[in-house]
């Protein structure tokens, strides 16, 4: 929790962060209730939405993203609650400082990175992989962004009454994942590190406000350049036409009409 906020203060619950949390929460309870009604139907949906490396390699590409909205059953409720609380705190903070588009880009790129890492491990250890579920891949991307961009910000290490800098907290999480590589949880740990790697790559390569914003700026810049070119072209044609009518009219380099009866240094009248 940031220093200076209330002891039990919670961040805003809005924007893309709220949608991600509610989508995850909705799918969790939907599968939980479906499992009570028909365990077979729940298992079928899980096999189509969770990330199973052999299935992805056989065409179920959507699993590279859908797995992040699928969580375990009632036995996994505490782990799911921890993931969604972490998503709320990290996502809300980053979204308030960088915007929804930026948050969506780094989150889903990290989700994709975790999925790719899981598939890469499948090729390396075909017998040592499992089914990937949960949003830890996206969370680790957000965690890396938090540590890199706000590394010196201090937080309370709940429930302990002590403060810790963000970069040290991130280092602790990464060390835990590295240690898990030598356990039977290596599949999930490797996926988490893949999400962290892709999150780090995004931070280093993406424009300040994200690829979507930079792309839209580039699009509108090209569109405006085209319109300015059309205006200059129309102005030149009009000058030629007026000369044929024995009248001289002039436009500036941007295609705006120059009134001969006005002061050429007075540009307030130009549109």
pLDDT at 215: 55
pLDDT at 219: 63
Q: In Å, how far from its chain's centre is CA 155?
A: 23
* CA gap 62, 214 in Å, rounded: 26
DSSP β-bridge partners for residue 156: 163
Q: In Å, how far from its chain's centre is CA 264?
A: 50
Q: Which run of H or of E encompasses 163?
A: strand 163-165
Integer angstrom CA distances of residue 58 from 44, 62, 95, 188, 247: 17, 11, 36, 21, 73
Does residue 106 have a cis peptide bond before it, meaning omega lies within 30 degrees of 0?
no
Could you tell me which CATH number the domain at 15-206 has?
1.20.1540.10
* CA gap 256, 59 in Å, rounded: 56
* CA gap 119, 3 in Å, rounded: 40
- CA neighbours closer than 13 Å in the CB half-sphere of residue 197: 15
What region, left, alpha or beta, does residue 60 occupy, with left being phi > 0 and alpha being psi -120 to 50 degrees? beta
pLDDT at 157: 62
> What residue spans in the chain does CATH classification 1.20.1540.10 cover?
15-206
pLDDT at 8: 44
Backbone angles phi, psi at 10, to 5 degrees: -110, 150
Contact between 139 and 86 (Cβ < 8 Å): yes
Q: What does the pLDDT profile of the chain (271 residues) look like in tens digits?
A: 444 443 345 788 899 999 999 999 999 999 999 988 998 998 999 999 999 999 999 999 999 999 999 997 666 888 999 999 999 999 999 999 999 999 999 999 999 999 999 999 998 886 667 889 999 999 999 999 999 999 898 876 655 667 888 899 899 999 999 999 998 888 999 999 999 999 999 999 876 666 565 556 566 667 777 777 777 778 777 777 777 777 777 777 767 767 666 655 555 544 4
Task: For residue 249, give the DSSP letter.
Answer: -
């Amino acid at each position: 929790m940031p220093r200076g906020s209330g002891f039990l203060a919670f961040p805003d619950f809005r924007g893309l962060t709220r949608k991600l949390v509610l989508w995850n929460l909705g799918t969790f309870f939907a599968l939980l209730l479906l499992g009570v009604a028909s365990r077979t139907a729940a298992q079928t949906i899980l096999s189509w939405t969770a990330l199973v490396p052999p299935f992805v390699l056989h065409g179920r590409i959507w699993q590279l993203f859908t797995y992040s909205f699928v969580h375990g059953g009632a036995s996994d409720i505490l782990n799911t609650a921890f993931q969604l609380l972490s998503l709320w705190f990290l996502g809300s903070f980053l979204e308030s400082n960088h915007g929804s588009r930026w948050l969506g880009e780094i989150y889903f790129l990290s989700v994709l990175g975790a999925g790719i890492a899981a598939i890469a491990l499948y090729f390396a250890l075909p017998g040592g992989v499992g089914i990937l579920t949960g949003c830890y891949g996206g969370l680790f991307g957000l965690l890396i962004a938090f540590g890199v961009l706000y590394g010196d910000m201090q937080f309370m290490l709940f429930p302990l009454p002590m403060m810790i800098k963000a970069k040290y907290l991130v280092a602790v999480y990464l060390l835990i994942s590295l240690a898990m590589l030598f356990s039977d949880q290596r599949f999930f740990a490797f996926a988490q590190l893949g999400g962290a790697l892709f999150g780090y790559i995004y931070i280093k390569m993406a424009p300040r406000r994200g690829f979507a914003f930079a792309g839209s700026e580039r699009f509108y810049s090209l569109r405006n350049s085209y319109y300015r070119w059309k205006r200059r072209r129309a102005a030149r044609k009009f000058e030629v036409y007026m000369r044929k009518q024995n009248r001289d009219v002039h436009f500036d380099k941007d295609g705006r009409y120059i009134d001969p009866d006005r002061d050429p240094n007075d540009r307030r009248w130009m549109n």
